[in-house]
Structure 1
Amino acid sequence: MTRTRTALALAAASVLLLTGCAAGADPDAGGEAAAGEEPRSGGVLQIAMSADYSCLDGQQARGGELNIASQILDGLTAQDPETGEIVPHLAESWDISDDASEFTFHLRDGVTFHDGTPFTAQSVKANLEGIANLGARSSLGQTYVDGLKEIEAVDDHTVRIAFEGPNAQFLQATSTTTLGFYADATLALSAEERCQGDVIGTGPFAFEAYTGNTTVELVRNDDYDWAPEQITAHQGPAYLEGLTFVVMPEASVRNGSLQSGQIDVNSGVSVQDRATLDAQGFPVHTYSNPGAPTNLWINVTQEPLDDVRVRQAITHALDREELASVVFEEQEPATNTVSSSTPGYQSQEDLLAYDPELAGELLDEAGWELGADGVREKDGQPLKVRITDYYKYNYTELIQAHLARVGIDAEIQTVTFSERSAILENGEYQIITGNLTRADADIIRTIHSIDQQNTNQREDSVPLDQELADTLAVVDETARAELLTGDVSRALLEEGYAIPMVETLAVIGTGKDVEGFAFDATARQKYYDTWLTE
């Protein structure tokens, strides 16, 4: 099979043409790499994604578009997806002050951007200061560099980064795509222009073309020779000549296209299609996303959710075992404000027990009496809540049923991803579904601190906010993670600020001739070591 660049028109036509491909697929099509076979260079991988995205700039992105940006950008460090260890990448080594307020990075020599310009300490300074200036546009990045005091380019290969106070989470943050680096030509563009994807990084693949709602094309960076050797299988340029991300919203179209060989990767396998792929021998890769699992985030300024007893009742009304069972067998019920794959995780499942009787008692105590129609009432008003959902999770209706059992009438408001982002930013929600991936327990501070994303829309700081801020001074990574996933998480759960439901699971199907597919530590797709057997 000869692999060539797919024409931009392919994706537009494929939605109509590929729905019937599955029936004629040869279950033995393609082949596995023979024992001892060396990776081959060449080919353009076709990757189907479920939706187009509003912004392809990795410094601004916060969702699935980071799977594209992570091919273009490199960080100062990288993170081992198995151990969580931070390893060198664009920085060969680093020094951290005793109080974690100052970081000095010693940069690798010979790194260049896709336009041939050198990556230097000045590049680090310009990018990190630029992220700070993006403000809310970089909703993740601003939390990583919050309190930035000064960046000094000591020389071309040494950069000193100082914060106003301790910032112990920063080292791990330097391994994320959000803190990846762009050339000066990209930094000169407006934030809106960068969202269109015409950006210049240092990564193994370079941007070539973006056709909205259709395709994103990347080409191999032939000069790439600075992969993090501790966590990659080879050095030098990537094996693949390029990557084409194709928008295919319908799950059945993606699955049929994978079976027929018209795409190589289905980046969103549905529960209905998983069994088919397994039966036909297609590799299916899963990874439990670290960070915040799929949650109900609560606006505590909205009645009736301003009462902690109502929030606790919702927590105990949810049967997480049942929620997890309707999606994938590997999916696990949430047992903390972070997933079990997050470094430092410890279970808090006792605070998340399914107990509808307790939920009823809490609502009784709060003055909500069960009405004749099964919906609770107080002062003549029904107990109603609105859940804003942007993804149409398979278990949305099940959540409604769980809450109905204890007398809560839940309305589901389904919105697009961009609509959901605007709603989250302006706080016009009661309950909103969401998850946020990061291989560091500091994600808890990002989501809940009144000084950060404040998804609870709290108007006044509480003792918990000081506890969240204090974690930044805990230099020992293990101790910091244990504090966040222990005492801090318990406080969040007891207050009903976080109502985690199930761990978020990445499920990726690949063609039988695709080898070397991998996830990074944040469950993003990595194609540097990927190759095609034919």
Structure 2
Amino acid sequence: MSRTARVAAALAAAALVLTACGGGGGSDPAADAGPPRPGGTLLFAVSSDQGCADPQQVGSNDSIYSLRQIVDSLTDQDPQSGAITPWLATKWSSNADATAWTFTLRPGATFSDGTPVDANAVKANFDRVPTIGARGTLPKGYLAGYQGTTVTSPTEFTVRFAQPNVQFLQGTSTHSLGLLAPSSVAKTDDERCQGVVGSGPFVLESYTKDQSTVLTKRAGYNWGSSLFTHPGEAYLDRAEFRVVPESGVRTGSLQSGEIDAVASVGPQDEAPLSGAGIGLPSRANPGLPFGISFNLSTALGKDAAVREAVSLGINRPEVVSAVYTSQTKPATGPLASTTPSYADQSAQYGFDAARAGAVLDAAGWKAGPDGIRAKGGTKLTIPVTFAQNISTTKPALELLQQQLRGVGIDVQLQEKQISDVAQIQQSGQFTALWGNLTRADPDILRATYWSGGANYYRFPPGPLDALLTGQAAATDPAKRTQIAGQAQQLIAAQHLTVPVVELTTTLGVAPSTHDLAFDASSRIQLHDTWKSE
């Protein structure tokens, strides 16, 4: 690897922290069940479905869990060190300013339709990404400034950018840039949402919106990530992801042995699941914490006093203790604490109802007879749009609603389907959105808040732009961390977004299921997963 590639990997390695509890499988040690064995079906219950079966067009964990298994990436990222490691690419290098990245592919990999995973296939994927619609926010962000891919041989190609793009290397390890067969790339966005062809260890057998995603083992698979613990095919024959919105039903099905694993474990589930011998592997998600992001083109979004008062009026520790699992932490910055180049901004995020009231008083928002503030005859009512894609979302928002009413802010909750959120973001028809975004790189800030990008939150051009683009261009790790820290400080000081809680992924895993591993983004990897009964 070149110096730029090495420093990018070193940056991630220095900053990424793994927080895990209970290992990567069930509560019984795998050694007690003997060596890993092939065969069996994993039944996994999730709480929601994003309504699309294309890894390049999903951003919700519940959908990523299954779709990650059908695509390989050029690189992988070690969840413990953060280092970028080989997968489909055996080596890579960049020019001095990280505007061009050259990769060498391993030979012999194929998509499940038989076509080769070659340089032309990579080019087809990258050329198509900029034209994906609203659902393709993540891959488009990783390819910002993309100028094209030059193929020099079946196994070698160079990706070029208009400006330095250090973050691209980590982007190649994500599901969002997982490679699809050219036949899938050529389909329309909506056609791809019905199912795509990848080169991963599993093949998509069927997808039924809001019901299930069924995967089968890819026969002959032999080009796995360098981080996989065994070569060759996956152990499992099948994996079925069932959509079960009710938390109690998921928990009961796991306890009864009807299913093998569940996502979105809530605090009320921890004790009964542990008591039943269920493993609770847990890992904090890097990236943007769950919080409220305003549409800064709206009247309330533009009002700095309103944004500050919302932040001051939220008691984050109370939200965490009341709603989330015991491993969860309050947000302490625009980035989650497990993100490379995270800078602690906790001084900006304390609970201070009196100060929130004073800020609103000074801005002309006066308390009315019902306790809700108003200015110029308009009540301080903030519609917050959300999707119930994990079980903790609505309870957390209902508690926030109560807390903010205490400082005179009327929060109105507007629940939408997770499949509709991307279109709502793109349209700008919202005042504030509740959500998070997972990525193990500080460039998630640029992808989300840069006024020159997708800019779904309508950030106006300003000093933040230079910081966000500057960190993406900084090839020196220390310099990049410094610039990213300045960006976080500015976002926090101006309350441009209101982070509340760090997402911590806690799974429930039956004792007979082993090595259900987290990747660097706290999603799951099933290649090495196996069942002992």
Residue correspondence of structure 1 range 444-523 to structure 2 within 5 A: 444-458=445-459, 460-484=460-484, 486-523=485-522
Amino acid at match of 1:446: A
Cα distance in 2 for partners of 1:418, 1:54 equals 5
1:40 aligns with 37
Cα pair 2:110 2:199 within 8 Å, conserved: yes
Distance change in 2, residues 1:214/1:400 (3 Å)? closer
Aligned equivalents of 2:235, 2:176: Cα separation in 1: 25
Structure 2 residue 425 is the aligned partner of structure 1 residue 424 = yes
SS at match of 2:424: helix
- 2-side partners of 1:509 and 1:203: how far apart? 25
CA distance in 2, matches of 1:228, 1:252: 36
Distance 2:475 2:219 in 1: 39
Q: TM-score scaled by structure 1?
A: 0.91
| Residues 1:345 and 2:342 aligned together | yes
Q: Which residue of 1 aligns with 2:289?
A: 293
| Residue deviations 1:81-127 (CA, integer Å, cap 9, x gap) | 11111111111011111101000001112211112221111111111
Aligned counterpart in structure 2 of residue 312 of structure 1, from 305, 308, 315 = 308
Asked if the contact 2:382–2:412 (Cα under 8 Å) also holds between the matched residues in 1, the reply is yes
* Deviations 1:244-297 (CA, angstroms, capped at 9, x unpaired): 111212111111111121111112222222221011110011111110010100
1:119 aligns with 2:117: yes
Instruction: Tell me the TM-score normalized by structure 2.
Output: 0.91
Task: Give the letter for the 1:74 counterpart.
Answer: D
Structure-2 residue corresponding to 1:12: none
Q: Please give the per-residue CA displacement for 1:212-254, whole angstroms capped at 9, x wherever unaligned.
A: 332221111121112222x221111111111111121211111
| Contact 1:46–1:246 (8 Å) recurs in 2 | yes
Aligned CA-pair RMSD:
1.7
Offset, 1:332? 0.3
User: For residues 107-506 of structure 1, what are the structure 2 equivalents within 5 Å?
Assistant: 107-197=105-195, 199-229=196-226, 231-326=227-322, 327-391=324-388, 392-458=393-459, 460-484=460-484, 486-506=485-505
Contact kept in structure 1, 2:133 and 2:189, CA below 8 Å: no
Aligned equivalents of 1:467 and 1:137: distance in 2? 26
Deviates more, 1:59-68 or 1:426-435: 59-68
The answer as to whether partners of 2:134 and 2:422 remain within 8 angstroms in 1 is no
User: Equivalent residue for 2:524?
Assistant: 525
Deviations 1:165-194 (A, max 9, x none): 111110000000111111122223222111
Q: Answer yes or no: is the 8 Å Cα contact 1:127–1:181 preserved in 2.
A: yes
Q: Would the aligned equivalents of 1:30 and 1:512 in 2 still touch at CA under 8 Å?
A: yes
Greater relative CO (CA pairs within 8 A, separation 6+): 2
> One-letter code of the match for 1:186?
S
Do 2:43 and 2:260's aligned partners in 1 also have CA atoms closer than 8 Å? yes
DSSP-derived class of the 1:407 partner: coil
Gaps of 5+ in 2: 1-25
The gaps in structure 1 that reach 5 residues or longer are 1-28
> Which has the higher mean CA deviation after the structures are superposed, 386-395 or 341-350?
386-395
TM-superposed CA distance for 1:211, in Å, is 2.6
Paired AA for residue 272 in structure 1: Q
Hey, what's the Cα distance between the residues in 2 that align with 1:483 and 1:54? 37
Range moving further from structure 2, 274-283 or 463-472: 463-472
Q: 1:310 to 1:31 in 2, by over 3 A?
A: closer
Moved more, 38-47 or 395-404: 395-404
- More displaced, 498-507 or 252-261? 252-261
Q: How many residues align?
A: 502
* Post-superposition offset of 1:135: 4.6
Mapped to 1, the partners of 2:221 and 2:204 lie a distance apart of 14
